[in-house]
Amino acid sequence: MAATGQLTRRVEGFVAALSPLLEDLARDAGLGADNVRRDVLVDASGMVAGLVAADGVVTDSELLAMIACFGELDDPRVAAATPIEQRRQMLLESGTSRLKAPSPLFSLLRDADLRDGGHRAKTYYEHAMAVAHATVSLDGYTGRLELSTVEEYRSMLLRLLPPEASPVTSQPTRPGPGAERPTLGTLENLHTPEKTLDELFAELDELIGLKPVKRELRRVADLITVERLRRERDLPVAPQSRHLVFTGNPGTGKTTVARLVAQIYRALGVVERGHLVETDRAALVAGFIGQTAARVTEVVDAASDGVLLIDEAYALVRGDDRDFGREAVDTLVKLMEDRRERLVVIVAGYPAEMDDFIHSNPGLRSRFPRVIHFPDYSTDELLDIFEMLAAKHHYELTEDGRVQVKAHFDAVERSLGFGNGRLARNLFEEACAEQASRVVHLDDVSRDDLVKLTGADIPEYRGDEYDDDPLAP
pLDDT at 4 over 70: no
Q: Is the pLDDT of residue 6 over 50?
A: yes
In three-state secondary structure terms, 171 is coil
Q: What is the pLDDT of residue 215?
A: 92
The whole-number pLDDT of residue 187 equals 30
Cα 37 from Cα 264, distance rounded (Å): 42
Are the folds of 197-374 and 379-457 the same? no
Is 287 or 116 the better-scoring residue by pLDDT?
Answer: 116
Rg (CA), the chain: 23
Residue 174 DSSP SS3: coil
* pLDDT, mean of residues 60-83: 59
Alpha helices (H) in 1-59, listed in sequence order = 2-28, 36-52
Q: Which residues of 49-64 are buried (b: 16+ CB within 10 A; e: fewer)?
A: bbbbbbbebbbeebbb
Q: DSSP readout, 335-396?
A: HHHHTTTTEEEEEEE-HHHHHHHHTTSHHHHHH--EEEEEPPPPHHHHHHHHHHHHHHTT-E
219-233, 320-334, 360-374: lowest mean pLDDT where?
320-334
pLDDT (0 to 100) of residue 264: 93
pLDDT value, residue 315: 85
121, 109 Cβ separation under 8 angstroms: yes
CA distance 235 to 27: 63
Residue 467: band (very low, low, confident or very high) from pLDDT cuts 50, 70, 90 = very low
Domain ranges of the chain: 2-168+183-189, 197-374, 379-457
pTM greater than 0.85 (yes/no): no
- Please tell me the predicted confidence (pLDDT) of residue 464: 53
Confidence at residue 175, expressed as pLDDT on a 0 to 100 scale: 36
d(CA 342, CA 319): 30
Architecture of domain 379-457 in CATH?
Orthogonal Bundle (1.10)
Residue 343 pairs in a beta bridge with 306
Is 344 or 421 the better-scoring residue by pLDDT? 344
| SS3 at position 202 | helix
pLDDT in tens, 214-232: 999 999 999 999 988 988 8
8 A C-beta contact, residue 53 and residue 94: yes
Q: Using one digit for the tens of pLDDT, what is the confidence trace for 90-144? A: 554 555 566 778 888 888 888 888 888 888 888 999 888 888 888 877 765 556 6
Instruction: Please tell me the predicted confidence (pLDDT) of residue 190.
Output: 32
What whole-number distance in Å separates Cα of residue 86 and Cα of residue 61? 12
Is the pLDDT at 77 greater than 60? The verdict is no
> What pLDDT sits at residue 364?
86
Q: Is the per-residue pLDDT at 213 higher than 90?
A: yes
Res 139: pLDDT: 62
pLDDT of residue 140: 57
44-63 pLDDT per residue, tens: 888 888 887 776 666 667 77
Question: Which region among 105-109, 435-439, 466-470 has the lowest average model confidence (pLDDT)?
Answer: 466-470
Q: Which residues pair with 277 in a beta bridge?
A: 308
Q: What is the mean pLDDT of the chain?
A: 78
Say which amino acid occupies 232: E
Q: Does domain 197-374 have CATH number 3.90.1300.10?
A: no
167 and 155 Cβ atoms separated by less than 8 Å? no
Q: Which of 111, 57, 118 is nearest to 429 (CA)?
A: 57
Helix (H) or strand (E) holding 246: strand 244-248
Task: Annotate 63-97 with DSSP letters as a single string.
Answer: HHHHHHHHHHTT-TTTTT--HHHHIIIIITTTTTG
Q: What is the pLDDT of residues 186-195, one digit of tens each?
A: 333 333 457 8
